Structure 1
Amino acid sequence: MKHSRLQAKLIFRQCAILLGIGLIFSLSLNSYLRAIMETEVQDKTRLIFSNVLAVQTYVRDTLRPTMYDNLASNSFVIEAMSTSFVTRTVMSDLNTAHDQFTYRRVAFNPRNPQFTPSELEREYIQFFRDHPALESLGQFRKINGEEYYVAAKPAVFEESCMLCHGRPEDAPAVLLARYGSVNGFGRAVGEVGGLDMVTMPVDREAASIRRVTIIFVLVFTCGTLLILGLNHFFFDRIVVQNIGRLASILRSRFPEEADKTLGRRPRFGDEIDVMVANVERFADHLRDARAQLADYAANLEIKVQERTHKLLEEANARQADVRLFVDMLDLFTEGQGRRRLLEQAMEAMAARFEARVVTFLCFANLNRYVWPPDAAPLILSPEDQRTLLGGEGVFRESRAEVPVRAADSIRGALILGWNAPRDLPLQEREVLTAVSSQLGIALENLEALENLVSQKTLLESIFEGIADPLFLLDQDGEVIHANTSAHRLLDGLADSGDPARILGLPALSREARFEGGDPFREETLLPDGRSLTLYAYPLHALEQRGRSIVYARDDTREKAMLARLQQGEKALAVGKMAAGLAHEINNPLGVILCYARLLWNDGKNENADDLSIIIRHTLQARKVLQDLMRFARPKPAALRALDLIEAVRFIARVFQVRAAALDVDIVTDLPADLPLVRGNTDAVEQVLTNVMINALDALEESGLRRPGNITISARHLPERGEVRLVVRDNGPGIPEENLQRIFDPFFSTKEVGKGTGLGLAVVYGLVRDMGGRVDAESRDGAVLTIHLRVAGAEEQKDSHATDDRE
C-alpha cells in the first residue's frame, strides 16, 4: 500500500503526541499511587503513636495512681508504673517480627544501654531540641539501601516524671536496685531528653507501584498502536481521496484555466502543498482577469469618488456637530460659574460655525457677554427681540439670532456674526437652535444648583451655630451628622466607651419612631457627673423616613441651682418655725433648769441622781434651741473683709488637742496670696467649728485603723470672683442616698443623743447669709466645699482702717 506524504506526517505527529500523553499519564499515575502509599503509611504511623499515647496515658493517669493507692508509700513496680517500660513491652509484643514497623523509645543516658539512641535517633532528638514548638516529624529516608518511613515524637519530661528521672535520692528503691543511681537521672521539667520513633519499611509498596506503572505503559502503547492504525485507514478514505476529487472538480469546471495552472507538482511537499501551489496559480490567473475588469470600471470609479467626497464633507459637518454637542455637555457637567460657562460655550460655537463674534444677551438683567472678550458686542433690535421672545430665530446674510430657551421661558438671545455674508443651511440652523436650548437648560440648572448650595450653606451655618449638641441619626441610631458642640461631647466621652451608647442615641432613635411623630425626651447622667436632657424629633419626609434629630441640653447647673433653691426654701421655712419654737420653749426650759438646780442643792438632795439626769437633758434641749436660734437668726449685722487664713489656722489650733487624742492629723494648705473674703468672723469660725466636729466624729465612729487625716485647703478662683475652701477627711465618706439630705435640719446619721442634726444646717444658713454656697460630695472620704465671695476694694479698705484703729 502506497503512503502519501501528508499521511506520513500525520502519523509521525500523532505518535509524538500520544507518546507525550502516555508519559504524562505514567508520571501522574506513579505520583498518585506514591501519594496514596505515603498517606497510608502516615495514617498507620499516627495510629501507632495513638496507641503509644493511649498506653502512656493509661499508665500515667490510671494504673500508676491506683498502684500508689494499693502499695506502700515507698513501693514502685517498674512493670506496671513505668510508662517507658510498659510502652516498649506492649509495642514490641504488637509487632515482634518487625515486618510491619519497628518501635523504639530511646533517650540520652538511658538506664538500659540497649535504648541508647543511634546516630539517626540522635539527629532527631537534636532537631526537636532546636525546634521546641514541633510536636512530631515524619520523613521518607534510605537506610542501608532500603526505603523507610521514619516518624518521631519528642519525649518531654513532665513534673510526674521527676520521681524516677529527677534526683537519685527521690527515686524508688527498686529502681535504684535494678539500674543504679547514675543513668537516667538529672532530668528537668520541659526537657527534650529522648523520643518515640516508628520505622516502617516501604520497599514492597514502592515495587508494587513500579509494576503498576509498567503495566499501564504497556497497555497505553498497545492502545496507541491501535489508534494509529485506525487513523491511517480512515485518513486515506476521508482526506487523500477527497483532495484528488477536488482537483478533478476544478478541471471539470475550469478546463482552460486548469490546463494552465494545475498538474505541475512541486518538488518537495505533500498533497496539501500541491493543492496550495495550484490554488496560488489559479489566484494569479483571477488577478489578471480582475485587472482587465478594472480598466472597464475606471470611469465609474471617478464618479463614485466625487460622490464620496460630497458625502465626506457632510459627514465631517455632522461630526463637527456631534463634537460641539459633546463639548457643550462637558462644559455643563464641569459645574463652573455662569460667566465661565458662557465664555467657553460661545468659544465652542464660534469655532464650530466659524463666527467672528458671538454675543449672549440676558433678557432678565440685559447683561451682555461677548467672545472674544475684546470684541464689540452685537446689538439686538427691538423687532428682532420681539421675534426671539416669540420663540423664533432670525437668520440674515452675515448674522444669526436664536433664542436661548429654558423650560417654558426665553432667558436670552444668542447672536453670531460673520465678516462675509453666509447663509446657514437648514440643518445647521437646527443645530444652532438645539445648542442654544441646551445652553438655556444649563444656565437654569446652574442657577438652581447655586440656590441649592446657598441654602445648604445657610442650613449648615444654622446647624453649626447652635451652641448645644445637635445630632442627625439614621434609622439604626448611627450618627450621620453632628455640629461642633456634638463633636466635642463625643470626643469627651470617647475614653469612657462608645459615646453613642453612653448617650443612648440608638434607643432614642427607636423611641422617636414609635412616639407617633411627637418628640421623645430622655434624661441621662454622664460618667463625669454632668446631666443631659435629650430630645429626639423624628423626620417625616419620605426620603428621610426613619431618621431623627436629637438635641442635647446640659442642665447640670439648672439642677444644682434648683436643688440649692429648694434647700434654701426648706431652710427658710424651718428657720421661721425654729425661731418661734425656740422662743416658746426656751423660757419653760429655763424655769425647769432653775428649779432642778435648786432641788439638786450641790448634790445633797436624796434624789440628786434623778435631778442630775433632768439637768443634763435640760441643758441638751437648750443646746438644741441655741442651734435652732443660730440657724434661724437673721443675716450677720456686718459683713466685712476678713482674713480666711487666720480664721482657718485659729480653728485648726482649737481642735488640735482632740485630733491628737484620736490620732488624726490636721493639715492646712493655704496659699500666702489668698485674697480677703467677704464675711463675718464669728460666722466663719462657727462654720469651721461645725465642719471640724463632724469630720472628727466621723473619723472616731468609723473605727478605721489607718491614721486619720483632715485637710483644709483654699484656692482663689479669679474668673469667678470667689475663694474655694475645701475640708476633706479620709473617713468612710457620705452614702449616696444621704448627699441630698445632709443640709436638712434635724437630719443626722449619728447615734441618738450624740447629734441634733443641725450642725450642717447651721453651716448652710451661715454660708448663704454671707453670699456664698456650700456643696458636699463623697470621694475617698467626705469632701465639703465652701465658696465665699472675694471682698471688694471698699470692703478691704474699711478692713485695713479698722485694723489700724485697733
Structure 2
Amino acid sequence: NRGSANLFGWTKDEVVGKMWVGRTFLKEARTGGVLQEISRKIEAQGVVEYQMERVRKDGSRFQANAIVTTLQDSSGKILGFLEIARDITEKLRLEKELRETKDYLENIVQSSVDAIVTTDPKGRITFVNKAMEAMVGVSQKDILLLPISRFYLEGIDEARKIMGILREKGSLQNYDTFTLRSGKKIPILLSASLLRNETGDIIGTLGVFKDLTEMKKLEEELQKTQAHLFQVGKMRAMGELVAGVAHEINNPLMAADTFIHVLQENLPEGEPNRQRLELIQKCHSRIAKIINHLKDFSRQSKLDFRQIDVNEPIENALLITGQQLLNHGIRVGKEFQPDLPKIRGDSTQLEQVFLNLIANAKDAMEAAGRKKELTIRTSLIRHSGWNDIEISFQDTGVGIAEENREKIFEPFFSTKEVGKGTGLGLSICYGIIDAHGGRLEVESRVQEGTTFRVILPVLGTHLGTALEWMEA
C-alpha cells in the first residue's frame, strides 16, 4: 500500500511479484536465520510481533516494529502473509530522552542533601531518597507504604496539622518540627506541597526535610559566645568602677584604723569601751577583706604566662584542700587524661581558680546533706584547626536554680549566707580564665549537682617554640 511505499521507498510496481521481502531486512538478519525463526513462529502461533532494524530502497536503516500474520483460506490453508510495519525511530529516540531525563532527575533527587519524601492521599509513603533513609534510619524497601506520621515526633496530630495547612494553602514553607530516628528527635525545617494530576485531583504530597541539627549546634555556640562577650564587657566595666570605689573606701578606712589603734592604746584593760573598739575593728577587718577582693577583681596586672601542664595547678589545689575535704567527708575522684598537651598560662592564677571552684563545691555539698563526691576530670577537645583542654569539677551538691545561673559570674552575687562570701570569687575566676583566652561554663540541676567547666586553648607548636625561646 501507499504507507509501505512511503516507509520502504519501493513503489508497488517495483515489488509486487518481483521482489523478495527479505531485501527489507539487514544482511545479518537474512543470513543469521532470523527470518527463518520469524517464519516458524508465524506458522506455530499464527501471528508474531517483532522489533528490529530494517532497510529502505536507498540503503538507509531505521528501527521498525512489525506485526506479521498468516492469510488463510476457509480450509485453513496458508495462502500468504500480511505484515503491518511502522517506523519507530522517533518513538525510540523520545523514549531514550525520557529515560535519560528520568535518570537525570532521579540522580538529582537522590543526590540531594535534604531528605525528600512523597506520600499518597492517605499519608502512606510512596518514595524516599537516600537522604531520607539516612535521616530516619530506615531503608527504602522497609519505609514504603508506612504512614508518614510515624516519623513525626508528635505523630498523627502533627501529620494532620501539616495536611490541614496544605489543603488550605496548597504549600508549606520553612515549618519547624521534629522527626524521629530510633526514638531520638531530630530538628527539621519542612517544606511541602500537594501533588495533583492533570485534572487537578490530589494524588499525594511532596515533602522536603532539612536537618537542622548542625545549625542548632552552631546557634547554641553563637549564643554562648555572645553571652561570653557580653559578660566580659560587663565585667570589665564593673572592674573599672570597683577599682575607684575600693580606692575611695580604703583611704578613710586606713585613717579610721589608726584612730582605733590610738584609742585602744589609751584605754586601760577592762574598760567597756575597749570591747566596743575591738568589735569595730573586726568590722573594719571585714571591710578590708572585701576591699582586697575588690582589688583582686579589678586588678589589670600582667599575668605570668608560661608553658605549663594543666594537671600541676589542679594537684597543687588538691594538696591545699585535700585534708579539709577529707574532714568534711567528701570523696575526691580524679579522671585525668594522660599525656595532655601543654597550655600557656599563669599557674598561680589557675590554682586560685581551681581552689575557688573546689571551695564552692564543698559548700554546696555541705548544704545538700547526702553522699558527697567531687569528680575532677581533664580531657582534650579536638576542633577543626585547634584543640582545647577541658577541666571539669562535678559535685553532688544542692545545684544552682535556673534563674541564678546567668547571675553567678556577676560581682557581689552570692547564694551563700551573709558573712560567708563576698560574691566576687566566681567573678575573679571568670576574669582569670578570660585573660587566658578560655571560657568558664556551668551546668547544674537542682538537688542533683553542678559541673563547672574550665576550657583553655592548647599551646600550638609554633607558640610553644616561641615561648621556650622567650623563657630561655
CA shift at 1:713, angstroms?
Answer: 1.8
What pairs up with 1:395-474 in 2 under 5 angstroms? 428=82, 431-432=84-85, 435-436=86-87, 440-461=90-111, 463=112, 466=113, 470-472=115-117, 474=119
**Cross-structure match for 1:626:** 295
- The yes-or-no answer on 1:647 pairing with 2:307 is no
CA shift at 1:688, angstroms?
Answer: 1.0
What pairs up with 1:26-45 in 2 under 5 angstroms? none
2:116–2:206 Cα contact (<8 Å) kept: no
**Matches of 1:515 and 1:680 in 2, distance apart?**
64
**Cross-structure match for 2:255:** 595
Identity of aligned residues (%): 19
**Matches of 1:588 and 1:762 in 2, distance apart?**
21
- The yes-or-no answer on 1:709 pairing with 2:373 is yes
Note the alpha carbon deviations across 1:382-422, whole angstroms, 9 max, x for none.
Answer: xxxxxxxxxxxxxxxx9758999xxxxxxx68699xxxxxx
**Cross-structure match for 1:355:** 22
**Cross-structure match for 2:347:** 681
- The yes-or-no answer on 1:553 pairing with 2:212 is yes
Rate the CA distance shift 1:588–1:649 in 2: closer, same or farther, 3 A: same
What pairs up with 1:127-166 in 2 under 5 angstroms? none
1:640–1:796 Cα contact (<8 Å) kept: no
**Matches of 1:610 and 1:679 in 2, distance apart?**
42
User: Which structure carries more helix by proportion?
Assistant: 1
CA shift at 1:515, angstroms?
Answer: 7.3
- The yes-or-no answer on 1:664 pairing with 2:330 is yes
**Cross-structure match for 2:189:** 535
**Matches of 2:435 and 2:185 in 1, distance apart?**
28
User: Aligned with 1:455: secondary structure?
Assistant: helix
CA shift at 1:610, angstroms?
Answer: 5.1
Rate the CA distance shift 1:520–1:650 in 2: closer, same or farther, 3 A: same
Rate the CA distance shift 1:586–1:741 in 2: closer, same or farther, 3 A: closer
Note the alpha carbon deviations across 1:292-332, whole angstroms, 9 max, x for none.
Answer: xxxxxxxxxxxxxxxxxxxxxxxxxxxxxxxxxxxxxxxxx
CA shift at 1:740, angstroms?
Answer: 4.7
- Provide the TM-score with structure 1 as the length reference: 0.42
CA shift at 1:674, angstroms?
Answer: 2.2
Rate the CA distance shift 1:781–1:456 in 2: closer, same or farther, 3 A: same
Rate the CA distance shift 1:450–1:793 in 2: closer, same or farther, 3 A: closer
1:476–1:509 Cα contact (<8 Å) kept: no
What pairs up with 1:581-592 in 2 under 5 angstroms? 581-592=241-252
**Cross-structure match for 2:37:** none
Note the alpha carbon deviations across 1:654-681, whole angstroms, 9 max, x for none.
Answer: 1113212211123323244222122222
1:582–1:629 Cα contact (<8 Å) kept: yes
Rate the CA distance shift 1:518–1:448 in 2: closer, same or farther, 3 A: closer
**Cross-structure match for 2:43:** none
Higher relative contact order (CA 8 A, sep 6+): 2
* Matched residue type, 2:109: L
CA shift at 1:590, angstroms?
Answer: 0.9
Rate the CA distance shift 1:511–1:587 in 2: closer, same or farther, 3 A: farther
CA shift at 1:358, angstroms?
Answer: 2.5
User: Aligned with 2:22: secondary structure?
Assistant: coil
- Provide the TM-score with structure 2 as the length reference: 0.67
Note the alpha carbon deviations across 1:364-395, whole angstroms, 9 max, x for none.
Answer: xxxxxx744999xxxxxxxxxxxxxxxxxxxx
Rate the CA distance shift 1:717–1:550 in 2: closer, same or farther, 3 A: closer
CA shift at 1:728, angstroms?
Answer: 1.4
1:539–1:547 Cα contact (<8 Å) kept: yes
Rate the CA distance shift 1:736–1:372 in 2: closer, same or farther, 3 A: farther
Cα RMSD over matched residues?
4.3
* Matched residue type, 2:175: R
Match for residue 769 of structure 1 among 435, 447, 454: 435
* Matched residue type, 2:251: V
**Cross-structure match for 2:47:** none
**Matches of 1:565 and 1:441 in 2, distance apart?**
63
* Matched residue type, 1:549: V
User: Which structure carries more strand by proportion?
Assistant: 2
Consecutive unaligned residues of structure 2, counting only runs of 5 or more, are 1-19, 33-54, 67-78, 139-149, 198-202, 268-272
1:733–1:782 Cα contact (<8 Å) kept: yes
User: Aligned with 2:255: secondary structure?
Assistant: helix
